[in-house]
């Protein structure tokens, strides 16, 4: 194996890595913004409100991401109304098609994660909000959503890392992300093992950075769960010693 090729083409790999980061970050932000109303509607007790979000989540969780990507990239171009719209200048670009497909996919998973977190909040906290006279909007804004945000961080971190690995599918629609750039270099140098090892190492580094970032967020928002409790036995001993001292003073008097 000749790893000098990796050194020679390392700047090109970094260009692909930057494209991968863009895909994950942009689709992640848009997907999170879209997942919030979908998750709230999915959490509703009214059937006519949660029926459409349920169908949306069921479709995007039940079909492969590659199929969704092809439907957006190849399928939308089949409709004349799409080609004549003002959005065609974006929809004909593989970059925005990948963003749309990844955004829709991750929003479905994130919405279901949010729904599960809201459903797991103890009923006592909801009743406490009602006793304090909070409206439904105040209850969600001040208590339920901040509480759910801390609960979904581990699961959402896994979803973002899965999206990072799934972003390699963008290379199937001629987008030069990290995997696409590695395949292009392989076609020129005929060094598949070296380039795929280098691309895999880049994915590992990006995953480590994301895992570290989410762990910092977990410590920030869930630090109270790992807080050390003061030993109760020591307090009991101190109180017993204090009571014995007081008893001695009373008897001496």
Query: What's the whole-model pTM score?
Result: 0.85
Cα-flanking dihedrals φ and ψ of residue 54, to 5°? Answer: -60, -45
pLDDT exceeds 60 at position 247: no
C-alpha distances in Å from residue 20, one per residue of 16, 74, 121, 138, 188:
6, 21, 35, 38, 21
- Assess contact for 150 and 222: CB atoms under 8 A: yes
pLDDT digits over 99-114, tens only? 999 999 999 999 999 9
* Sign of the four-CA dihedral 129, 133, 136, 141: negative
Cα distance between residue 213 and residue 153, in whole Å: 11
Question: How far, in Å, CA of 108 to CA of 101, rounded?
Answer: 11
CA atoms within 13 A on the CB side of 179: 14
Confidence of residue 71 (pLDDT cuts 50, 70, 90): very high
What is the maximum span of the chain, computed from C-alpha positions, in angstroms? 101
- The pLDDT of residue 236 is 47
- Asked if 28 and 193 touch (Cβ cutoff 8 Å), the reply is no
Report how far residue 115's alpha carbon sits from residue 10's, in angstroms, rounded to the nearest whole number.
42
Q: 140-154 pLDDT, tens per residue? A: 999 899 889 989 999
**Chain Cα centroid distance, residue 164:** 10
Min mean pLDDT across 15-19, 64-68, 137-141 is at: 137-141
């Amino acid at each position: 194996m000749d790893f000098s090729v990796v050194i020679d083409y390392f700047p090109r790999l970094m260009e692909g890595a930057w494209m991968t980061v863009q895909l994950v970050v942009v689709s992640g932000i848009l997907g999170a913004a879209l997942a919030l109303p979908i998750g709230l509607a999915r959490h509703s007790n009214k059937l006519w409100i949660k029926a459409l979000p349920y169908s949306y989540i069921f479709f995007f969780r039940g079909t492969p991401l590659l199929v969704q990507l092809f439907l957006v990239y190849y399928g939308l171009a089949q409709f004349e109304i799409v080609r004549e719209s003002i959005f065609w200048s974006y929809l004909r670009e593989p970059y925005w098609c990948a963003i749309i497909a990844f955004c829709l996919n991750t929003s479905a998973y994130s919405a279901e994660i949010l729904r599960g977190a809201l459903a797991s909040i103890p009923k006592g906290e909801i009743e406490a909000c009602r006793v304090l006279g909070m409206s439904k909007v105040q209850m969600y804004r001040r208590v339920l959503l901040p509480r759910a945000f801390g609960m979904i961080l581990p699961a959402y971190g896994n979803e973002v890392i899965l999206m990072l690995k799934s972003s390699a599918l963008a290379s199937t629609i001629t987008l030069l992300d990290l995997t696409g750039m590695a395949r292009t270099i392989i076609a020129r140098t005929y060094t598949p093992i070296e380039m795929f090892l280098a691309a895999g190492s880049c994915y590992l580094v990006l995953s480590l950075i994301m895992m570290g970032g989410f762990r910092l967020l977990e410590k920030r928002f869930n630090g109270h769960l790992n807080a050390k409790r003061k030993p109760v036995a020591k307090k009991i001993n101190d109180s017993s010693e204090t009571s014995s001292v007081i008893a001695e003073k009373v008897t001496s008097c």
